[in-house]
């Protein structure tokens, strides 16, 4: 551990003893600014290829895609690069700011704009809650990836989100989403804290625990981000709830979805009890 992280750890331990509610920022507010750094080894391109394969296997040819809980736009951009016209929706304004900035950075300079092939496909980002939104239009495909469904805390919320998704799907459209399974989330039980360091620029402590009674995985993030000579400190608490495949299916039924196929993530084989992540493909 370097001197910066030793200082940070001492500070953190002192502050955790004094911790008050005001110290905690909303999930994905401060974390938004370092999310892409923490997720840098996630293979979003492989995910996008996998999702594209699932969509094509369902025979869906239309290209209008809504990416729910799009975050910083990693899935949205990967799908846009595969020819989809993407709208991303997320509840965190800070995650959307990062996503929009990445899209702006993609816009080529004026002198290159006559070459249409050099034009990146823009993604339209919208602030909203996936449990209650009305975009006034429908899509061929809706995606919701990387645990985002687990952030919904009750089956009522799940059903609300599925009803909204269903209302925004064109006839014959498909809703593709993943969920972390209970077996995966429960793995965090009694795990020691993890520390991420980016030189002396960012130090992040990640302490997680599994609460069997509520089937929730709780993560306390404590970050120190260097600003000039000082460190800005933040804390966030994230919670993901585990749902069984039967609970998810019941909510999809309630929302009026038709055929539902469940896969073990990144494979075409059926879910197993020990699968860490499942992909649901729901048809209207």
d(CA 173, CA 190) in angstroms, rounded, equals 42
Residues that bind ligand SAM (CB under 6 A): 28, 69-71, 74-75, 90-92, 95, 129-131, 145-148, 151
Q: How far is the CB of 240 from ligand SAM (least distance, A)?
A: 9
Nearer to ligand SAM, 70 or 281 (CB): 70
Nearer to ligand SAM, 148 or 184 (CB): 148
Nearer to ligand SAM, 47 or 231 (CB): 47
Q: How far is the CB of 197 from ligand SAM (least distance, A)?
A: 21
d(CA 102, CA 74) in angstroms, rounded, equals 9
| 5 sits in which H/E element | helix 3-18
Q: Using an 8 Å Cβ cutoff, are 65 and 143 in contact? A: yes
d(CA 283, CA 150) in angstroms, rounded, equals 20
Q: How far is the CB of 149 from ligand SAM (least distance, A)?
A: 9
Nearer to ligand SAM, 75 or 159 (CB): 75
Q: How far is the CB of 146 from ligand SAM (least distance, A)?
A: 3
> Which residue has its beta carbon closest to ligand SAM?
71
Fill in the DSSP letter of residue 52: H
Given CA atoms 166, 71, 180, 207 in this order, what sign does their dihedral have? negative
Q: Which residues contact 48 (CB under 8 A, 6 or more apart)?
A: 75, 78, 79, 81, 82
d(CA 153, CA 109) in angstroms, rounded, equals 44
Q: How far is the CB of 116 from ligand SAM (least distance, A)?
A: 29
Nearer to ligand SAM, 74 or 235 (CB): 74
């Amino acid at each position: 551990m370097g001197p910066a992280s030793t200082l940070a750890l001492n500070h953190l331990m002192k502050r955790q003893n004094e911790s008050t509610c005001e110290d905690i920022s909303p999930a994905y507010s401060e974390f938004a600014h370092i999310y892409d750094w923490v997720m840098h080894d996630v293979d979003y391109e492989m995910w996008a290829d996998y999702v594209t394969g699932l969509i094509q296997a369902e025979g869906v040819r239309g290209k209008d895609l809504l990416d729910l809980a799009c975050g910083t736009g990693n899935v949205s951009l990967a799908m846009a690069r595969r020819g989809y016209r993407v709208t991303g929706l997320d509840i965190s304004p800070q995650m959307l700011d990062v996503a929009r900035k990445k899209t702006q950075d993609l816009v080529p300079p004026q002198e290159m704009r006559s070459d249409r092939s050099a034009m990146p496909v823009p993604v339209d980002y919208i602030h909203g809650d996936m449990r209650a939104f009305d975009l006034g239009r429908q899509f061929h495909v809706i995606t919701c990836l990387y645990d985002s469904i687990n952030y919904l805390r009750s089956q009522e919320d799940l059903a609300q989100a599925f009803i909204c998704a269903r209302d925004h799907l064109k006839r014959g459209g498909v809703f593709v989403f993943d969920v972390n399974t209970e077996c995966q989330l429960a793995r965090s039980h009694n795990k020691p804290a993890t520390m991420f360091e980016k030189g002396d620029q960012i130090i992040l402590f990640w302490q997680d625990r599994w609460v069997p009674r509520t089937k929730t995985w709780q993560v306390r993030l404590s970050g120190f981000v260097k600003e000039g000579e000082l460190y800005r400190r933040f804390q966030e608490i994230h919670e993901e709830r585990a749902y069984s495949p039967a609970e998810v299916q019941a909510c999809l039924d309630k929302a009026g979805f038709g055929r539902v196929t469940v896969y073990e993530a990144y494979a075409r084989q059926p879910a197993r009890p020990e699968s860490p992540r499942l992909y649901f493909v729901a048809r209207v």
